[in-house]
Every structure is written in C-alpha cells, then in structure tokens.
Chains A and B, each alone.
Chain A
C-alpha cells in the first residue's frame, strides 16, 4: 500500500522539553503530486518539516518517534545533508541567496562545476577552474524549465524584486540532480498576488515533471487552485488527509477551525458624503521618483479634497515610491500640486510645510526614532517645521516641556497607545503601538493631506482594525484627505473611495472598491480587461 507513495511519514511524534508538539501525525505524498500541508500557526507544520529535513534542532532535543519512508523504504534522515542526498529540497521563506552574487552563482553555489587544471591535479579539486559556460547553461535550463525566460542568468540577485528571488531559489532546487520532493514553505506570503499566481503555475509545471511538492500555506484559495491533495493539522494532531476535488473551502476551513471573515471597518463609520470633482487636494503630473526597486515613472492622478484615495499594486511596481518621493527621501521630477500650488520637492521639508504629513511603510527605518521617547517622536516634525512646542529664550528656541507633555498625553489617550507614559522609549513598544506613534506624529502636524503607507504592515488584527477605523474617522470628522498606500487589497477596498492600481510606475487604472475581484486581479497583473476577454 505504501508503495504508491514517494514519501510517507508515519505516526510521527515529537516533544520539546515535555511539550508535545506533534502527536501521531501521518503525511503521505505521491510522485508528481502537489500536496498541501495546512494548519494554523503553531499547528506543527514547521516541526514536521524540520523532522523531514533532519534539522539539528530535532536531534538536539531528543529526536522524534515514528518512521520516514521514501519509496516504501524506511530511511534515516539525520542531517540536512542526508535529506539533500535523498532528493528532498526546500524553497525557503526567507531567501537563502547571496545578494552580491549573480543568478548563476547563486544557483550553483556549493555545487559548482569545475574543470581540472594543472594546479588542481597537484593540489586537489579546490583549485579547479570553474566551467562558467556549463554553469550558465544549467542555470538557464533550470530557469527556462520554470518559465522564467526573463530572468537573466548573469544578473545580480541584489535589487531584484522579491518574486524573482523566489524564482531563483526554486531554480536552484530544480537544478539539483535527482530532486524528487520539493517543499515550499509559505512561498506566497511575501509575494504579491500576480507573483503568487505565477508561482502556482510554476509549481504545476514542476509537478508535471514527476517531482512531488509539499506546499505549506495559510492561503486556502491557493490550495484549492493548485493542490491535488492535502493534510490538515491542528494543534499538533493529524486531522485529515483529503483529495482537493472531494472538498471545499468551507470544508477545509471547518477542519482547521474556521477562520472568521474579518470585517476591517464597521459600516456605520463609512457614512456617505459628497466629494466635489473640482476641489483637487493633490495632483500629480508626469511624476517620477527614483527609488530603487519602487520607481515611479510618469504618474498622473488627481485626488479630490476629503477623499480616501488608495494606491494598490504589486511590490516593485512603484506605489511605495510615490510617498517617499513627496517626502524628499528620493530624487523626483515632474509636478506635484497641492491645492494647485506646485511643490518644490528638492527643498527639504517642502511637503510638510504645505500641509502634507506622511506615515512611512518602513516604521523602524524611517518612521521612528527608536531610541527616543514617545514624546520626542510625536513632537519632532511639528517642532522642526511649525515651531510648535518651543519657547523663545533670547535667540534660542527651547523645547516647551509642558506643552509637549500635554500634547503627548492627549495623543496617547486619543489613539490608545499602550505605554507606561510619554517618556517610554519607542523601541520597546509593540508594532501596533509604534504605528500609532507614527500616526500621532503625522497628526500633530495637523495636515490637510495625510499619506499613510502600508499602515497595517506587521501589526496584529486588533490594532489593524483600530488604525483603519481611526483613519476613516478623521477623514469623516475632520474632512482630512487621506492617501493610503497598501499591498492589501482587502484593506484598500474596505475604506477607500477610489483605488489607483499602480503598474510599472504608472497608474494602470483607477477603480471603485466594489469593482469585481476579477477586475482587480487583472489590473494588478497589468492586463486590460478587453485583452483578457
């Protein structure tokens, strides 16, 4: 019976310091099959994979119980090297690539093809000459076999979009001879939607070659789209092995303990209001930003006063560059008009002085002074730009501690920042609270236009909802124009009035939040609907 399976892991149990993380789990994969391993965080997926790869952490903590069978034979996998020799490969979530190396060098790393030379005959194969042509050909073949004709094998990995890095990593695994089983650990988590679709296609392509795939993911739609069968884990226990064709999304969700569909912003907050087409708060004309990896290349868009305007699109297409350019972090060209007044973006602080505040997507890198107190962070921009919170003593402008304290206390209350007080160091706050501090700093500027970039990245669902609701609230109550840049379409669609999808540094189309999923999907992929039909 076991013969039909390439891999079967039988009755696997594992304890970490008396804590049972896996209880009699079974996993079977057939050759050429895409098998999904699903389960919530902490269900035991990673531990199971660590066992499969013979990771040292498993043996350092007392090994495991159960058998691993490869092609029906019990195989001892006691080191990652043994796993590799057995034809098991892994595509990592964090890319194990050397940025300064070319694609070929990365693919062939550790498995370089050498040619013997006079020196190597004497001193051994460490002194062999590299056969670059052969290595390039192999890399090209590996890349072509996953349909990545447009990745050049001689390009450096540094500066590539995240999706491409993932594909290079896959190519590396494919290039290994005798690969039988490939594990994809949350491969789509860091990818944008179209890159993820591309990846799924590649997985199908690989499976067609007879290589089995274990696909670990949280995204059930992807499982439905690509997997043949699945194993569901819950709290370290085996729940079921199912064929995808026999099941449904609802069914899987139930087995995993159903995820509730989250509502990000309550309906009663999203009251109707009238936006006038001739009141333009912010206008971009032929706008360029030279931000590496996120270039904006000739963007035109008009944003109405009081609007919540979203910018969506894939990573690397330029949506992140829009705000960073306005705030003067990267070179820009073209025109940006605030209420018909052109900004001189080469002048530092120009946008701030004209009533635009910015919450950066890179909270720790750009958004905060991590070593300073909450108070310093919140008042910093307002103090520097608007001369608020200062007392004049002779020629000096000295911090007005009392005013700053008062304001910070208010902000802490208003945004419900969980902290020990205004003097707590920002670096010790949780992600969600740090984001609120960023928001507080922007609001302290009392901006006419607020730009928030990836406002919910890396914060938990509760804080996420609070941040989004607060944005909606200040928009409705104060009439503040809000520009939101986000990778999460759900988020954009739940509160924006209009959403511009950015593709290749330009506005591809401006959409309504209630446009169909298909329309959004096509726009993100940069495909015109007419063409798709």
Chain B
C-alpha cells in the first residue's frame, strides 16, 4: 500500500490520468483492428518529431526564465534557415552538383543558418527577459505571438526563385506549405526516401522491421541532442545556470553573473528550438510557414509539463515521457475517435483540451516567488 502511494506521488495525478487514457486508447485501437505496427510507428515518429522542440524548454526552465512560450523565435529562425538553404541549393543547383548528397548539404546549411539566427535572436531575447524579471512568461507569450506576425510579413515579401517555395505565377511571397520531398524531407526518418535516394551504406538511417518503421537517423540525432543537453547541465556552466534558475541570490553570492546565465539559457533554448523545427520539418516532409508555428510553443510547454516538469525544474526524462504521452494520445485518438464518433475534428479538440488544460494545471501549482 505504501509503495503504491509513493508510486502515485512520484507519477502525479495528471500523468496518471493521461497515461491511463493513453493505454485505454491503445487497447481500443487494437480492439478495433488497427495494425499495432503502423500505430506504434506513428507514435514513435511523432514522438521524435516533436521531441527536440520540447527539449528546447529545458534550458529555459533551468536558467530561470520559466516556460519559454517564445520558442516561436527559435522556430522562426529555423524556418528562415531552412528556406534560405533551400533557395541557395536551388540557385546553385546542388542537385546537379552533389547528386544524392545535395539533401544533406541543404539540411546542414539549414541547421547552420538556423542556429546562427537563433543564437543572435535568442541573445537579444534573453536581454529583453532580464528586463522583465518576474513576468517572463507573460512577456514571452507576447513575443512568441508577435514574432509570428512579423515573420508573416517576411514570408510574404521574400522573393525566391525556388518553385517549391514561392507561389506559382507570382513574383513575391512564399507558399503556406512547402514540400521537402525533393530536398531533405524524410532523410533521417522515412525508409522510402532513404532506400530510394541514398547509397546503400546509409540504408540503416531508416528501415522497416515487418511493418514497424525504425527512423534510426532521427533516433540518433534526437538522442544525441538529449545527451548533449544532459551533459551540459552536468558541466560547470550548466550547473551555474541551474543555480541561477533556482536561486538568484545564492548564485550571485557564489560569484556568478545571474543575468548572463539567463541570457545563455534563453539563447540555448532558442537554438534548440531552431534545430527542433528543422528536424520536425524533415520528419513531416513539409515546411509550414505563416501561422502554422503559432501554437507550437503551447504544445511544447504542455508536453514537458505532462512529463512532470515544473516551471522551475525540468529534466530530460520529463521531455521524453511528456512528449511520448502527449503525442501518443493524439496519434491513437485519431483513428479510434473516427471509428467511434463521426466528428472529424475531435482529435484537434482533444489536443487543445489536453495542452491548455495541462498548462493551466501546472501554472496553478506554481508558487509565487516575487513576494
């Protein structure tokens, strides 16, 4: 009985409910005759697809800026890097020059550009957050929304020659959704893409075991990202950053510049967000511009909170568990709900209920620290 109680306390009510709900959905979908392999392939794919975006929350929370609703800054940086990389690839005709290597070059360039943009924007954003101490989350929500509006203007005014990106029959503006199928889409996760376009020695990047898809490349990249973030928070700088997030006076009295650590944490969070959206896009196969990233910050926030993080402390395990549960529910709910009721938008409704509900729950549990 006692172990049961500590078990319950360790898990917490929200995760217990969502976990049970997930299991229920899985059982239901299996009873309804869906292929378990296809279902779990989908769960794993979505898990890895969103994972890096959720991982971006960790440095923000640990360095004391709270839930980084402004992750849209990183997302926008990543998208900008991606479209620029694709345009460069098109103008320079990397397909002609590098053949099967061209998607790799594009992906690499996208990440490099995205990281550079994100580092600059993130630093400025960190400086902004230092001026609004105590209301970071409010401000970051505004910033997160504002940058999307600003980027809408940017997307509209960019005139690219790459036909995948620009509207057909028009000189200016980028498409709402740009396909990555000729570029780096699915390079790390889609067995069809990998098997058909890549040389044999790279076929391990994504393969099938029966019906189950193993996106090895994505697992590797996401795993490495997690490992580096974990390692970073065991380094001298990372521990100082955690300290700055937990207790500013303590950290100052240990001779650490708290404001600088917060800027670093914010910048790292933004950079991971930029990489996250590129990995997301390559898994999804499309670049989504304009308003598509508007609510991604909320989904990331909800995921890490489901995982058990608080607005002050987050661990890698929270990222893994939270993203798995959140995406798992969405993936399994769709076919089950479609089978049971005839409201097509129900999974979307479910997503909104879960993400907003969890954010509300977590915020109601935070303790005021300004008094």
- Contact of A368 with B253 in the complex, beta carbons under 8 Å: no
- Contact of B239 with A399 in the complex, beta carbons under 8 Å: yes
- Contact of A397 with B255 in the complex, beta carbons under 8 Å: no
Note all chain A residues with C-beta closer than 8 A to B312. Answer: 371
- Contact of B252 with A329 in the complex, beta carbons under 8 Å: yes
- Contact of B252 with A348 in the complex, beta carbons under 8 Å: yes
Q: Mark B240-275, 1 if CB is under 8 A from A, else 0.
A: 101100110110111111000000000000000000
- Contact of A383 with B239 in the complex, beta carbons under 8 Å: yes
Bound-state CA distance A417–B50 (Å) is 43
Note all chain B residues with C-beta closer than 8 A to A397. Answer: 235-237
- Contact of B256 with A348 in the complex, beta carbons under 8 Å: yes
- Whether, in the assembled complex, B203 has its beta carbon less than 8 Å from a beta carbon of chain A, the answer is no
- Contact of A353 with B239 in the complex, beta carbons under 8 Å: no
- Whether, in the assembled complex, B351 has its beta carbon less than 8 Å from a beta carbon of chain A, the answer is no
Bound-state CA distance A383–B254 (Å) is 10
Bound-state CA distance A397–B250 (Å) is 21
Note all chain A residues with C-beta closer than 8 A to B256. Answer: 348-349, 384
Note all chain A residues with C-beta closer than 8 A to B254. Answer: 349, 352, 380-381, 384-385
- Contact of A349 with B255 in the complex, beta carbons under 8 Å: yes
Note all chain B residues with C-beta closer than 8 A to A376. Answer: 239
| Residue on A nearest B247 in the bound complex, by CB | A369
Note all chain B residues with C-beta closer than 8 A to A368. Answer: 247, 250
Bound-state CA distance A27–B312 (Å) is 52
| Residue on A nearest B240 in the bound complex, by CB | A384
Classify chain A's interface size. Answer: 20 to 34
- Contact of B255 with A384 in the complex, beta carbons under 8 Å: yes
- Whether, in the assembled complex, B313 has its beta carbon less than 8 Å from a beta carbon of chain A, the answer is yes
Note all chain B residues with C-beta closer than 8 A to A383. Answer: 236, 239
- Contact of B239 with A348 in the complex, beta carbons under 8 Å: no
Note all chain B residues with C-beta closer than 8 A to A139. Answer: none
- Whether, in the assembled complex, B231 has its beta carbon less than 8 Å from a beta carbon of chain A, the answer is yes
Note all chain B residues with C-beta closer than 8 A to A381. Answer: 254-255
- Contact of A365 with B249 in the complex, beta carbons under 8 Å: yes
Bound-state CA distance A374–B87 (Å) is 53
- Whether, in the assembled complex, B208 has its beta carbon less than 8 Å from a beta carbon of chain A, the answer is no
Q: Size of chain B's interface in residues, with CB distance under 8 A?
A: 22
- Contact of B235 with A399 in the complex, beta carbons under 8 Å: yes
Those of A316-336 within 8 Å (CB) of chain B: 327-329
A290 to chain B, nearest CB (A): 15
- Contact of B313 with A396 in the complex, beta carbons under 8 Å: no
- Whether, in the assembled complex, A100 has its beta carbon less than 8 Å from a beta carbon of chain B, the answer is no
- Contact of B257 with A348 in the complex, beta carbons under 8 Å: yes
- Contact of B255 with A352 in the complex, beta carbons under 8 Å: yes
Bound-state CA distance A380–B255 (Å) is 11
Note all chain B residues with C-beta closer than 8 A to A352. Answer: 254-255
- Contact of B255 with A328 in the complex, beta carbons under 8 Å: yes
- Whether, in the assembled complex, A350 has its beta carbon less than 8 Å from a beta carbon of chain B, the answer is yes
| Residue on A nearest B256 in the bound complex, by CB | A384
- Contact of A370 with B247 in the complex, beta carbons under 8 Å: yes
- Whether, in the assembled complex, A366 has its beta carbon less than 8 Å from a beta carbon of chain B, the answer is yes
B256 to chain A, nearest CB (A): 6
| Residue on B nearest A369 in the bound complex, by CB | B246
B253 to chain A, nearest CB (A): 5
Note all chain A residues with C-beta closer than 8 A to B242. Answer: 372
A402 to chain B, nearest CB (A): 13
B175 to chain A, nearest CB (A): 41
Note all chain B residues with C-beta closer than 8 A to A380. Answer: 239, 243, 250, 254
A-B contacts, 18 listed (Cβ < 8 Å): A327-B253, A348-B255, A350-B255, A352-B254, A353-B255, A362-B249, A366-B249, A366-B253, A367-B250, A370-B247, A371-B312, A380-B239, A384-B236, A384-B255, A385-B254, A398-B231, A399-B234, A399-B236
User: A interface vs B, CB < 8 Å?
Assistant: 327-329, 348-350, 352-353, 358, 360, 362, 365-372, 376, 380-381, 383-385, 387, 390, 396-399
New A-B contacts (12) at CB < 8 Å, excluding given A380-B239, A390-B236, A396-B232: A328-B255, A349-B255, A369-B250, A370-B246, A372-B243, A376-B239, A380-B250, A383-B236, A384-B240, A384-B254, A384-B256, A385-B254
